[in-house]
Amino acid sequence: MVNQERLMTIESDRDSVCAGDDMSRHNVFSEFSEDTTIENMMTELMKIHTIGSTWAVWAGTYTNYKCIRDRKGNWLIDEKTRIKDFFQDIEKFVFFDKEFMGSIRCEK
């Protein structure tokens, strides 16, 4: 029997930088192996959302989220965590946040 790699689809998005930037969506759907580390996932997502590479990053929803990094690039979680463990209790959504939305505070 062949051991098939299980994939997880992660939606990522970023804050806009100006009014005209909102004319089109920035969200992207990417597939990763469930065993990918948060660090490797973030490396790939920062290639997509290059403008947000120095912004805070969180995952989940506005009411159920986990912070990943603060604005200074400090990890707020163990970056070696596998995404299948990290996303087990939150939505598979990662957001690069320029100004912290609502009550979300990703700070060290």
Give pLDDT tens digits for 30-78. Answer: 999 999 999 999 999 999 888 777 889 999 998 899 999 998 889 999 9
Task: Taking the CA atoms of 24, 50, 37 and 102 in sequence, report the sign of the dihedral they define.
Answer: negative
Amino acid at 16: S
Which among 84, 5, 96 is positioned nearest to 42, based on CA atoms? 96
pTM of the model as a whole: 0.86
| pLDDT for the residue 2 | 60
Residue 14: pLDDT over 90? no
Domain range annotation of the chain: 7-16+26-97
Over 90: is that where the pLDDT of 25 sits? no
- When pLDDT is averaged across residues 69-94 and rounded to a whole number, the result is 95
Task: State which H helix or E strand residue 33 sits in.
Answer: strand 28-33
Indicate the average pLDDT of the chain.
87
Please name the fold of domain 7-16+26-97: Ubiquitin-like (UB roll) (3.10.20)
Residue among 88, 43, 92 nearest 69 (CA):
43
DSSP state of 82: B
103, pLDDT greater than 70? no
Cα–chain-centroid distance for residue 82?
A: 13
Token couple for 104: 């979300």
Is residue 20 classed as helix, strand or coil in its secondary structure?
Answer: helix
